[in-house]
Structure 1
């Protein structure tokens, strides 16, 4: 049965029947609708505890005018901005929220679903900019022994768990085509601020040196790592180091999630040796100036350095 709204004539009929103390069941039979429709109509159309057909009809017309089906289409000027931000690897959700926070003279408002629909409708190549989700790899125990003398993640200071204070980091390495080269990734737990450092030889000495270099000048109270043998020289990193339980990558969820974002720029089969320092810095800047949902759509840079969000990032 096709759905139709009650007409003004039917509402007047309901008002008259209610005034004559007619039961809801009989009113539904006379009007030709379900009894639940009458109950809903009476509830919506009450004025001073009494049903008013005229007031109910006016409210219905206002609801229809505000419905999504009657919204005007988005101005054409908004799409170049959306395209620009997608090209910076912002997700539709991040674009939608940041536009809402920043505001604009045009008072643009757009939902993330509208952006997805636009990409699908226009068959744009921008869909390649959207993040791809893959099944997580099954964890396998490392062949090498765990770093000796390591401290458990359960011994971390309370501030590292609550993320109330900046300075507690998570670290990991990601590999490319060759197992000899890697990238050291460090993520600050409160702000998600990210540092990336190339390591030409995946040795414990070089990894420890890279940690000290990348955290120099930044708040650094603790570091949580996985159990890879490349972190065997953790005592030379210059700050308290703790290790997650074997096979529990979720204990370093901030770092693991950020590594997934980095893979947007650096596929698993890429030769890391070909990456220039300028390219790595470019990726760092993209991540640190990208709004995050978990930060209330602020950027990691804004959170770490306690800056006020602004609309600079929207400039094309």
Structure 2
């Protein structure tokens, strides 16, 4: 058992394991189980003494296998070169961290102190863990904004419904007149979808009629009155210009475009909801002259009986 304990020992500096007796603290204490160190090449700068008498140990260096003084100096210089390179990289990284922390915490408010520096988080127990509280009820639920999920659910319910035809142009009943002249809250306006905001007819032929639609989705539980204003001759055939849209329904206003002028067309269409809330849509078209493309090598044109010769 005593031998096993000795095998666990290592050589240690004299100032850690006990002084050598002559005031030399740089020498190392040699334990009885490190005799093998005497027959191998050792570092020349280290001195060993015995554990009890503190006598200088004899260290044998084999000249056939040990380095010369010049080789040891070259190895040490090589090691210091790379050690200096690694130290410089470490110092550069630390300098970058110091500069970053100075920019972040070196202002007049933080005065160089890190936020929550030195604070330890509280250890939570099962008694401290509680369920998330329910969101508080808004003080006035009638005027709160509708969430995105609620708007999406309402739009899905209405968008699948067919377009209502034969709607009234003006409110007629007492209920329609009352609801179509009422003020709407911001939440109510979010439930009304009118679009698309950009109507593009693309390339259209001169003097040709093209139709697109303005979709109106009413997710409210009341009637709304939508009026469309046209102030250009190219869209003068658009009809009807006003509709009373029933609650939870979908309607469409056909936009008819016809132009006699070649070139690009862009105009805004103004609309209002219940006569108070106004907005606009943009109509864009590119009017091009008619072109005739024939996919045949032979074309025969016969005269039309009864037409004058100058009619073509």
Specify the TM-score bucket, using the shorter chain as the normaliser.
under 0.3
Task: Tell me which protein shows more strand as a share of its residues.
Answer: 2
**Rg comparison, structure with higher value:** 2
Task: Tell me which protein shows more helix as a share of its residues.
Answer: 1
Report which structure shows greater RCO (CA 8 Å, sep ≥6). 1
